[in-house]
Structure 1
Amino acid sequence: MDIKRRAFVMGGSALCVTFLGGATSSIDFGGTPHESLLIAGSDEFLPYAKKLIDAFVKTKPGIDVVVEAGGTDLGLLALKRGAIDIALASRELKATEDEKLTRSYMLSRDAIALVVNPANPLAGLDRKTAASLLLGNVRDWGRVAGQPGPVQVYSRKAEVGTQKALEKLVLDHARMGLEATVVESGVAMRERIAADPRGLGFLSLHDITPAVKVLAIDGVPMNRGTILSGRYPFSRSFFCITHGTEKKAVREFMDFAQGPAGQALLVSLGLIAVQ
């Protein structure tokens, strides 16, 4: 059963949702009541959440799920206003957001890897130098790797979740330099770096293969242990957030997502399970 979708209207600082009566609707399709589950939020988490929801609804044909992006902040705002049932988040709640009725469920962890061609002698970077390279402020490998030559930076489109994650985690919300070559996918990024001894790019966990070299950051290698512990600086966590009384469909989805089937699915998508 595919996800049933209806547009969420984003605008300014608010997320407006019109869905047959709101987040607590019971929808009648052909005379059979179906419970609705409305989910919105993090652009970064969304591609993984859709796969999770697809698997969930196959086990619960009486639940109709609507899911949209919009960003963590707008998702949380819609949740607090009662417009949706679950907010997707790619960060921990701030102190001002963590209210008594709010529950935060970590489902998985991920990381953004900075990658170079295996022929590049560089083993790692500090965060400041990494940002300088990606922003185009440092343009010659001789300044960081001891082997002179122009740095060729690769990026993704501005709206892609991985690009947004890089700019948040690595660049402190700055935009990459205009000189970067834009590629269409993680696979295309990996292929470009594998073919370009002077290339510098970035990948999510699920796109990493031995065709590229993953750089340590601040002396910390990227591996399962450093990501789970948070020692690797460019780690991120994916959460589902609820607020107030959780209706049956919410509880069933959370049980699935945190259970063996949901966690195994997230691992198959390249994320790190937390349960």
Structure 2
Amino acid sequence: MTLKRRAFVLGAGALSVTALGAATSSIDWGGVEQESLLVAGSEEFHPYAVKLVDGFAQTRPKLDVVVEAGGTAGGLLALKRGAIDVALTSRELTATEDEKLTRAYLVARDAIALVVHPGNPVGNLDRKQAAAILRGEVRDWGKLPGGSAGPIRLYRRKADAGTQKALDKMVLANAEMPSSAIVMESGHAMHDRLAADVQGFGFLSLHDVTPAVKVLAIDGVGMSRASILGGSYPFTRSFFCVTHGAEKDVVRAFLSFAQGPQGQNILKGAGLISVR
């Protein structure tokens, strides 16, 4: 099935909708009434949301879909203005965002793993140590508990990569990594380099982790499904679908799909942690 998508752009904290106006329950395409579902928000959630919405569309033959990125803040603003049906977020709502008519539905979780070669004796870092390495302030493994003297070879992703953005927020508090960090083109490239470089230090999204690399515990907590779902692993992100005001039938059906077995299997297959 080929989905029909009509484009809109999130920018500067506002939504510009091309030829759509406010979110509607149906669109007339050549005399055939079709349902519409307009979804936008978090850039980190977006690639997973596309898979989720595509799966849902297979169950609704007359569904017309728009799925866009553009940022959590812009998506929430567009939602409250009635321009979209569902906003995507990769974090919990703030106190000012969580209004009386706003509802957030948790659909999946993910984690950022800090990764080294399996032969590296370092097994645990605290959050300050992790951030100091990533900022380039700690450059020798011998400065870390259990480490052997030797230079730390630091790896990163391109600035616009979703995993890099997640790391910047969760670990670095939006500080910058040094220009000397070696840029990897993909999670797979990062994985393969760290599996081969005993001096290397990098990071991976959960779905790129294999036994060929070593995931460091953070503050004594290892990364596992239980620690991610329970929130004890600190570098965890949560993906929510958010609505505001009355939910039309197709939105309720989509939310039920996203939190049900079919949607959860899609998200799990994409490498996320299912929550049901």
Q: Bin the TM-score by the shorter chain.
A: over 0.9
Confirm or deny that 1:177 pairs with 2:178.
yes
Q: Distance in 2 between matches of 1:203 and 1:274?
A: 21
- Distance (Å, rounded) in 2 between the aligned partners of 1:223 and 1:82: 38
Calculate percent identity across the aligned residue pairs: 66
2: CA distance, partners of 1:107 / 1:169: 19
Q: Distance in 2 between matches of 1:266 and 1:146?
A: 37
The alignment partner of 1:219 has SS state of coil
Matches within 5 A, 1:114-263: 114-144=114-144, 145-263=146-264
- Are 2:62 and 1:50 equivalent residues in the alignment? no
Q: Give the drift of 1:3.
A: 3.7
Q: CA deviation at 1:25?
A: 5.5
The whole-number CA distance in structure 1 between the counterparts of 2:72 and 2:229 is 21
Q: Deviations over 1:48-96 (max 9, x none)?
A: 1111111111111111110111111111111111111100000111111
Name the aligned partner's letter for residue 231 of structure 1: S
Per the alignment, residue 92 of structure 2 pairs with 92
Q: Is residue 64 of structure 2 the alignment partner of residue 64 of structure 1?
A: yes
The residue aligned with 2:37 is 37
Bigger Cα displacement from structure 2, 91-100 vs 21-30: 21-30
- TM-score, normalised to structure 1's length? 0.96
Q: How many residues align?
A: 275
Q: Which moved more, 1:59-68 or 1:10-19?
A: 10-19
2:6 maps to which residue?
6
Tell me the C-alpha RMSD between the 2 structures: 1.3
Work out whether residues 125 and 218 of structure 2, in 8 Å CA contact, stay in contact via their aligned partners in 1: yes
**Is the contact between residue 9 and residue 68 of structure 2 (CA under 8 Å) also seen in structure 1?**
no
| AA in 2 matched with 1:84 | I
Structure 1 runs (4+) deviating above 6 angstroms are none
CA distance in 1, matches of 2:153, 2:82: 47
Q: Give a deviation string over 1:122-168, Cα, whole Å, max 9, x none.
A: 10111001001111111111111431111111111111111111010
Question: TM-score, structure 2 length as denominator?
Answer: 0.96
Q: Residue 17 of structure 1 contacts residue 84 of structure 1 at CA under 8 Å; is this kept in 2?
A: no
Q: Deviations over 1:218-269 (max 9, x none)?
A: 0111101111110000011000000011111111111111111111111112
In the alignment, does 2:81 pair up with 1:81?
yes
Counterpart-to-counterpart distance in 1, 2:8 and 2:165: 20
Specify every segment of 5 or more residues in structure 1 that has no aligned partner in the other structure, as ranges: none
- Checking the alignment, whether the CA contact within 8 Å between 1:152 and 1:199 is kept in structure 2 is yes
In structure 2, C-alpha distance between the alignment counterparts of 1:105 and 1:19, rounded to whole Å: 29
Tell me the SS of whatever aligns to 1:4. coil
* Residue 174 to residue 3, structure 1, CA distance change in 2 (3 Å): farther
Measured after TM superposition, the shift of residue 15 of structure 1 is 2.4
Say whether the 8 Å CA contact 1:109–1:273 is kept in structure 2.
yes
Per-residue deviation, 1:210:
0.5
Of stretches 152-161 and 87-96 in structure 1, the one that deviates more from structure 2 is 152-161
Aligned counterparts of 2:254 and 2:268: Cα–Cα separation in 1: 17
